[in-house]
Every structure is written in structure tokens, then in C-alpha cells.
Structure 1
């Protein structure tokens, strides 16, 4: 059983189940859910690690009840496995799940890119995309892969959000969160993503030129190539027990 030291959020507050009741516990449950989910997605709580409810409660500065409720939500998202009387195990990233996620992200983002090129973007909207590409270039120049990954996710989020379709943004954001965990797990195993930055610049240029076919095709090829690399690295992580 793998054990890991947890970072502590603050001094424990043992009054969260007192007389002010359900509303306070609900806010504590939401805080526990958000913080545990963030730690899992960022791989601060790595795959196959085991945690007792009490140590999670101590780390978050709250009682076990909101932690238990948060773990139930995380289990519904297939991020943890609850083990009665033994706490929770962080589930590894599934290659099959990630394959499905990347297939969906590829198609939905390509559709978004096509719409942007058909409609055209304002100078300020194009500048947002350009800035994200510039930030990725700068991050690679200083070998800061985490900063590159943040700017990469910003770029892909912008491609969808600039369509103005809030439902599309919400769906893709869910997939992006799930993919984030796999990307953080494999970030330092992949080659330096210079080619990825060139793809991004090419997508922006196709949107600027109002060329929907080229924009969508370039983006689809980019996502398919990135997805194939990620799946191969995840399979390698699994076989090597990382």
C-alpha cells in the first residue's frame, strides 16, 4: 500500500459539524471536494496512493464528515475508489478513458475552430490567441513545462470559449479537466513540445485567413498527434508502475 505525505491547508477547524448545521457542512463538503479534486488532477495525490479519511480531514483542516461526502462525489467521477474502513485509493488514469476523452475533445474543438474561421475574429480576440502562443514559446525557452502546459490549456479553452457557445464550453471543460491529470502525469516524459507550438500558430493563422477547412484540419491533426503520444506515454507509465 502506497503512502504519501499530504500538504496541510490550515489549522483544523473542528466546529464544522456543530449547531449551525447543514449549510456550513455543505460549504465544507464543497471545499473538500474542490481541493481534493485539484490535488488529484495535479497529481499531488498520485495514482494508486491510499489515504485514510482522518488524514485527509487533518490535511484540509476539517472533520471527517465533509471529507467522506467529497470522496463519494470523487468516486462518482472515477477519480477515487472508496474502501470501507480503509479510506480511499486514487484511481490510475485509464488509457481507454483517455482515448475516448481525446476523441471527443478532438472533434468538438475542431468544430469550434471551424466556426471561428467561418465567422472571423476581431483583432482583440485574435490577440488573445496570439498571446497564449507567445506564452507557450516563452515557457519552452526557459524550459518551464508546467507554464507551457498552463498556456496550452488556456489556448485550447479560448478556441472553444470564443465561439460564444456556453454549453460547448462546459462540455469541453469537463473533458479538459480529465485530460489535465494525464498530461501532468506524463509531462516530463514527452519530447519538448516545439512542434505543438508550431501547430498552434498555424491554427491561429488559418483562423485569421478565414479558412475553415484548413483551420479544422490543422487542429484535428494536432490533437490526434498529441493524443497518440499521450496514450503511448500512459501505457508506458502503467507498464513501468509509475
Structure 2
């Protein structure tokens, strides 16, 4: 009986050791999967940001290794991020040449603005038609634009301007409309950043005045006027950006 007890006791630690070993081996494999996904997501966001901010020259070619060194990622997450961005039309993967930063042409800008002028003016009308809508954030955005302009900080002015437009669309209450507009606005932001590097915004004060006029129309519940003012505002913005590109002979941004 004593021998039997010793045999059982000696085998028990072996089973526990094997059990621990299996868990130990599995853990790195399971942990690697979310870690890889996170790395790819970070690479995607940073590469996309640099494209949208026009920090990467439109039309340029970059090797995966170059981008990896630039952004601090290995080639695998860069490659996976590039595949996602290619699906969005922001890059083109060219065999033996690397990754091309797809430029936006003047005709692209025109088409994007046509979509924005239609949908955002609709959003302005929807906001005006809503009862008891809070327009405080729109006023705050305009105030921030004014403060930035007085400081001569045009980057902050542009950021506050985008907050105004994004907030207005959000206040429309139409999630589908907002989704389509936000997809187009990335391209507008990209071209805008590019033109700002070439020439400052021609009429920043006028933009602020037009914003306040749109707010007044919405506050009065005049959907038709709010929509018309917004459309005119967007049309001027499109003309200003197009004029800058044409003035400097830039066909793609």
C-alpha cells in the first residue's frame, strides 16, 4: 500500500508540469495575434494621416522598407496597411516600384465638392428644421476661428473651420448622410492642406462671416436660406482651391 501511494505522488507533479507547459506554449501564439492586428492598425492610421495631411508628396513612390523606417514599423504591417489604403484609393501598389501616393486631380476635386455642396447644404436645411437644436458648438467653432485668425495661426483656423463643418453635419441627425460626407471630407482636407502649403487661404474673415450667417438662418428655422447660404459658401471654397491649383499650374494634388 505504501509503494502504491509513492507511485501516485511521483506521477502527479509530471501531469501538472505538462499542463503548465501547454499553457505556456499557447500564450505567446494567442497574444501575437492581437498584437499584430494592433500594429497593422497603427501603421494604417499613421500612413493614412500622412497622406491626408499631404506630408507624403502626391504621385511619389515609396518602398515598403522606406515607409517602415519612416514610420517605425516592420514591412508586414506596412504592406497590410497599404492594401487597405489601396482599397480607399489613396495609394497604388506597383510591383517592383513600391507604393505610389495617389494624387487628387482638379476634376476629382470638382466631383468631390459637387457631392459636398449637395449633401452639406441638405444637412444645413435639416438642422434648421429641427426644433430646439443646440447650435452652441457651431458658435464656439466660429469663435475659435476668429481667435486663431487674430493670432495668425492659420493651421488652428483651418482645424476650427473643419470642426464647424463636421459639427453641422452631425447636428443634421442623418447618420447615412454624415457617413458619406465624412468619407468625401478626407479628400477635401487633403487637397486643402496641399493648397495651404502653396498659398494661404485668400478670405479667412469672409468664411467666418458666412458661417455666422448660416448659424443665424438655422437659428431662425429658415431651412431654405440656411441651405442656400451653405451651398454658396462651399461653391466659393471650391473656386478658391481650384484657382490656387490653376494659378500655380498644379493639375494634381
**Are the aligned partners of 1:120 and 1:208 in contact in 2 as well (CA < 8 Å)?**
no
1:157 equivalent in alignment to 2:166: yes
1:102 equivalent in alignment to 2:119: no
User: Would the alpha carbon gap of residues 237 and 70 (structure 1) be closer, same or farther in structure 2, given more than 3 Å must change?
Assistant: farther
C-alpha displacement of 1:185? 0.5
Q: Alignment partner of 1:205: what SS?
A: helix
**Are the aligned partners of 2:106 and 2:252 in contact in 1 as well (CA < 8 Å)?**
no
- Bigger drift between 43-52 and 105-114 goes to 43-52
CA distance in 2, matches of 1:39, 1:237: 23
Match of 2:240? 229
* Deviation by residue 1:140-172 (Cα, 9 ceiling, x = unmatched): 111211111111110001111012222222111
Q: Which of 197, 216, 221 does residue 210 from structure 1 map onto?
A: 221
C-alpha displacement of 1:240? 8.2
1:133 equivalent in alignment to 2:107: no
Q: Which of 180, 184, 205 does residue 175 from structure 1 map onto?
A: 184
Q: How many residues align?
A: 223
* Greater Rg by CA: 2
User: Would the alpha carbon gap of residues 241 and 161 (structure 1) be closer, same or farther in structure 2, given more than 3 Å must change?
Assistant: closer
Q: Alignment partner of 2:89: what SS?
A: coil
Q: Alignment partner of 1:81: what SS?
A: strand
Match of 1:64? 75
Q: Which of 35, 43, 52 does residue 32 from structure 1 map onto?
A: 43
User: Would the alpha carbon gap of residues 240 and 75 (structure 1) be closer, same or farther in structure 2, given more than 3 Å must change?
Assistant: closer
Q: Which of 34, 41, 59 does residue 52 from structure 2 map onto?
A: 41
In structure 1, stretches of 5+ residues that fail to align are: 1-17
**Are the aligned partners of 1:199 and 1:222 in contact in 2 as well (CA < 8 Å)?**
yes
C-alpha displacement of 1:44? 1.3
**Are the aligned partners of 1:139 and 1:148 in contact in 2 as well (CA < 8 Å)?**
yes
1:119 equivalent in alignment to 2:130: yes
Q: Alignment partner of 1:92: what SS?
A: coil
Match of 2:61? 50
In structure 2, stretches of 5+ residues that fail to align are: 1-27
**In proportion to residue count, which structure has more helix?**
2
C-alpha displacement of 1:235? 3.5
- TM-score by structure 2 length? 0.81
What is the CA RMSD across the aligned residues, in angstroms? 2.0
- TM-score by structure 1 length? 0.85
CA distance in 2, matches of 1:88, 1:169: 30
**Are the aligned partners of 2:106 and 2:251 in contact in 1 as well (CA < 8 Å)?**
no
Match of 1:8? none
CA distance in 2, matches of 1:111, 1:62: 42
Q: Alignment partner of 1:156: what SS?
A: helix
**Are the aligned partners of 1:120 and 1:207 in contact in 2 as well (CA < 8 Å)?**
no
